[in-house]
């Protein structure tokens, strides 16, 4: 792996680390907020909404959306890789040595 590829991988690793830390901080803040709100508000009776049991749960929505995004990203990657391969004959030949 070249020096520039190593540097790019290092930067990407730092970005992912920073994003994960930020996400963890937001989750903790939301969890604390939800606990505070729950402690301050009275228990509400369950709402009887027709057909509510037929609706997907939030976890199912997240899973479905990310499964679709994963498939779409894989498709885009395959497309980009095949595009590079299809046009590789147009690139100058590198001399080894």
User: What residues does each domain of the chain span?
Assistant: 1-44, 54-90
| 19 vs 37: CA distance, rounded Å | 27
Mean pLDDT for the stretch of residues 2-12: 92
Q: Write out the two tokens for 87.
A: 């046009």
- Closest of 60, 37, 18 to residue 26, by C-alpha: 18
| Model confidence, pTM | 0.68
Q: Where residue 47 falls among pLDDT bands split at 50, 70, 90? A: confident
Instruction: Work out the end-to-end distance of the chain between its first and last CA atoms, rounded to an integer number of angstroms.
Output: 16
- Closest of 1, 7, 71 to residue 15, by C-alpha: 7
């Amino acid at each position: 792996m070249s020096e520039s590829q190593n540097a790019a991988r290092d930067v990407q690793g730092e970005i992912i680390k920073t994003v994960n830390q930020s996400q963890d901080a937001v989750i903790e803040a939301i969890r604390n907020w939800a606990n505070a709100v729950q402690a301050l508000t009275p228990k509400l009776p369950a709402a009887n909404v027709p057909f509510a049991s037929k609706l997907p749960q939030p976890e199912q929505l997240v899973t479905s959306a990310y499964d679709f995004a994963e498939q779409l990203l894989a498709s885009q990657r395959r497309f980009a890789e095949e595009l590079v391969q299809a046009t590789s004959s147009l690139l100058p030949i590198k001399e080894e040595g």
